[in-house]
Every structure is written in structure tokens, then in C-alpha cells.
Amino acid sequence: MDPVGMRPVLGIESSCDETAAAVLDRDGRILSALVASQEREHAPYGGVVPEIAARTHLALLPGLVRRAMAEAGLDFAALGGVAATTGPGLIGGLIVGSQVGKGIALSRGLPFVAVNHLEAHALTARLPGLVAGNVPFPYMLLLISGGHCQCIAVEGVGKHVRLGGTVDDAAGEAFDKVAKLLGLPWPGGPALERLATEGDPRRFGFPRPMLGRAGCDFSFSGLKTAVAHAVAEFGSGALERQVAADVAAGFQAAVAAVLADRAGHAMALFADRYPGTPGLLVVAGGVAANGAIRTALTAATAARGFHLAVPPPALCTDNAVMVAWAGIERLRLGLTDGLEIAPRPRWPLQDLAEPAAG
């Protein structure tokens, strides 16, 4: 018998500043998907405040779960399992989300799945209907978000090989910091991308860290510093809009070039490691919504004979659909977790091969 019991799964996401709940049926069809943004709560501080995030999750999540179940047309007795992000992320939010999930599982006698947030991103492309022909293992993953920048070979559920990653800042973190230098509102990534459409990416010769270097590690700290020096040359006042637009365009072009180059090296490593495997690069994480980056990665995959798969923007950013789907993937293999498992603010994908511990 299918371990999911042929019943839907509830997913809960609360690892950072998005409170989300979703219900998927056993085949991955989305029955409901809700996300409550905390942008208004954190905007005055120019970034996510962990304590505020945790309190907001606590206030929003119970009602959000009830709404997700109502929109799915189900009561809790109809569920086949509960999946909740249990790491990595901000510990306060992880505690809130995982405890709500455990409480529902305990009260209804349902299996509980402690989902790794990174694996949820990694498995999103396997949602039925997202990619033609679906996505068989293994495949390449480029995870680019506010807190992560990694190249990963996804060999299976719970089986991930890290090929490279950032040695300092994540790409999304660099976007937010540069946006702040330019006086843009938080969150900075989308605002910077909009401003860059007005700019000349050739005006400032920003560096391309690690471009052409062996391997597929990333570095964005030096690029961020170069932007800070360029902005400082215009004095302490607000930049003219055209100057700010040119800086934004130059920075975005540099990041896109670095990501495409590093992904190209990762694809070469992947092809050597898994000969004869169809070449597929899946891109996930909030930064994957950036149009210039998608364009650069499209060219990079074509040059390597790979196919590019990018989930729609709503499934690139943090959401509960990916959590519910990761839960379904694990439940199908009979993988569940005890209610004693503790949230983990740090939880590398490589550790998923180890037995879960409280």
C-alpha cells in the first residue's frame, strides 16, 4: 500500500519571513497554496528581524493552515501526512512551524515529515507538470537565494552531492546589500532588477569574481565592495537616478555572468560524474526569478548541451507547495520522522543521508 495512504499532505513553511501553508494530493496536484508575506513588518528595519518573524509566524500560521484546509475542501481527518520545514532557517520560525505540524500530526495520528528547506527547493522541479517528461534522478541543481548559493548533484531523495558553493555572501544577500547602497526599499532584489532596466551595464567595470576559475565555487563579497567604492565616489548624498540605474545594471550583469560561468563548470563536473545522463540544470531559490539571470543561464545550458528548468516565480521563492511535495516524495519511500526531532538552524543537504536525530 502507498505509504501516503492515497491521501493529501499538508505542507507548512516558516523558515524565514514567509508564512505559508499548502495542501497537495498524493499525485502532486495543488489543492490549496497560501503565502502570507511579512514584508510590511520587516521593511522599516531594512531586513528580516528574527524575533519579529517568529512572532508573526505564531500569529498567522494557525489561521493560514485552517484557510488552506478549507480551500482544499478537506478536514484534517482526510490527510495522509503533515510535512513542515524543520531546517535550515531562523530558529524561532522553525520552532513555530514544526510545532504546529507536529501538533496536527499528533492529534490526528498522522505521519510527520521534517522537511529540509533546501531539499524542498531541490525537489520542486519534480512536481508533475512543471517540466516536460518530468525530472528523473540524477540532475543538477543551482540553488540561489538570500541565504544560499550552491551547485548540487541531486541523486535522489535524501541523496545530494555538493559540487560547489559560495565562499562568502550568497547571491541574494549581495542583491539586498547593493540595493541598500542605492537607497532602494527592502526587499532589494526585485527593486534592483526594476531599476537596472533603466541603466547601462557597461558604464561601470565591476569585477566578475572567480570567472573562469576551476571548480564551481562562488564569491560575491569583492563585487559588493567594488559597488560600494563606486557609489562612494559620488559623495554622501542620494545618487542621481541614472547613476543608480547604471550601477544596478552593471552589478546585475556581473552577478549573471558569474552565475552562468560557475554553473557551466558545475555542468561539466556533473557530466563527468554521471556519463550518459540527460543534462538537466534545475534552478531554484528566490534569485532564480531574476530575468537577466535566467537569460544568462539559458545561454550557459545551451552551450553545454543541457536543458534548463526553472519553476515559476511563485515556486522559486519560499512556499509551502514545495514542502508538501518534499513530504510526499519522502512518504512514498516510507520515510517519516519522530515527533522528538528538533528544528535545525543549520542542516546541510549532505546530512540527509544520516539517520534523523532529535
pLDDT tens digits for 55-68?
Answer: 999 999 999 999 99
CA distance 164 to 173: 18
- Per the CB < 8 A criterion, the answer to whether 147 and 170 are in contact is yes
Residues 78-109 have pLDDT tens digits of 999 999 999 999 999 999 999 999 999 999 99
Nearest to 84 by CA among 94, 72, 75: 94
If pLDDT is split at 50, 70 and 90, which confidence band does 357 have?
Answer: very low
| Domains detected in the chain | 9-125+315-353 (3.30.420.40), 138-310 (3.30.420.40)
Cell 516510507 appears where? 334
Using the predicted structure, report yes or no on whether residue 327 has a pLDDT greater than 80: yes
At residue 353 the predicted structure's pLDDT band, cuts being 50, 70 and 90, is: low
Report helix, strand or coil for 151.
strand
Cβ–Cβ < 8 Å for 94, 86: yes
For the chain, counts of helices (H) and of strands (E): 11, 10
End-to-end distance of the chain based on CA atoms, in angstroms? Answer: 28
CB 10 within 8 A of CB 65: yes
CA of residue 63 relative to chain centroid, distance: 24
How many Å apart are CA 148 and CA 310, to the nearest integer?
Answer: 17
Give the CA dihedral 35, 144, 94, 341, nearest 10 degrees.
130
pLDDT of res. 355:
43
For the stretch 172-195, pLDDT in tens is 999 999 999 999 998 889 999 999
Q: Write the pLDDT tens digit of every residue in 232-282.
A: 999 878 899 999 999 999 999 999 999 999 999 999 999 999 999 989 999
Question: Could you give the CA distance from residue 45 to residue 40 in angstroms, rounded to a whole number?
Answer: 10
Percent of the chain past pLDDT 70, that is, above it, reads 97
DSSP state of 1: -
Mean pLDDT, all residues of the chain: 93
- Other CB atoms within 10 A of residue 162 CB: 13
What pLDDT was estimated at residue 5?
Answer: 56
